[in-house]
A = this chain, B = another copy of it.
Amino acid sequence: MATNGKDSRGLKDDVCVHSNGSCKESAAMNGAATEAETPSNGAEVRPQRFTFSPAPSMEDIRRMQAEFTDERDWNKFHQPRNLLLAMVGEVGEVAELFQWRGEVAEGLPDWTEPEREQLAHELSDVLIYLVELAEKCRVDLPQAVLRKMALNRLKYPASKVHGSAKKYTEYKD
């Protein structure tokens, strides 16, 4: 994976995955990246932050999976409830990889490369069915996430919930 130094860019100002190289940032953004965090307030230095590659987008994934399904004449099996059950099955396959292990630290330090790749496959399967389920339900998932995140910020104001795992219904005004 290539590295880049762009993590803190603003969503609305500067978001580009133009993979044909016509946008000026695309070369620097080609690949997942880690970035050193150097707090100026003397706080503990956190581990380097991992980032995702900018492509494919969720719409790319939706379109590729739709083509995959169309080419195989599988839409007749891909009703919303079937897709939901397929997603549940894939979530179960992720769970299998974590069962009987005890706690697992961030970054999976004790996992082998084949175990990591198996996890990457199962997480991908969850995403693929989630995206297709959203499509078949006519939910614009990228935009829905923005609305839900705005709600979460209202339900859990940082000033009120800092360091606490209580549910929002347990907080007093």
Contact = CB atoms under 8 A, between A and B. Distances in A.
B22 A52 contact: no
B133 A123 contact: yes
Interface in A105-160: 105-108, 116, 119-121, 123-128, 130-131, 133-149, 151-153, 156, 158
Contacts of A87: 91, 126
Interface in A65-87: 65-66, 68, 71-74, 76-77, 79-81, 84, 87
A56 B120 contact: no
In the complex, which of the residues A7, A106, A163 has the most CB atoms of chain B within 10 Å of its own CB atom? A106
Interface string A23-61: 100000000100000000000000001111111111111
Contacts of A149: 64-65, 68, 124, 128
Nearest to A59: B52
Nearest to A91: B91
Contacts of A12: 19-20
A148 B130 contact: no
B143 A32 contact: yes
A120 B144 contact: yes
18 contacts: A16-B16, A17-B17, A17-B57, A53-B140, A53-B142, A57-B142, A61-B142, A65-B149, A68-B149, A68-B153, A81-B101, A91-B91, A107-B136, A108-B138, A116-B138, A124-B147, A128-B145, A128-B149
Given A1-B140, A16-B23, A53-B59, 6 more contacts: A16-B17, A50-B140, A52-B62, A54-B59, A84-B94, A88-B95
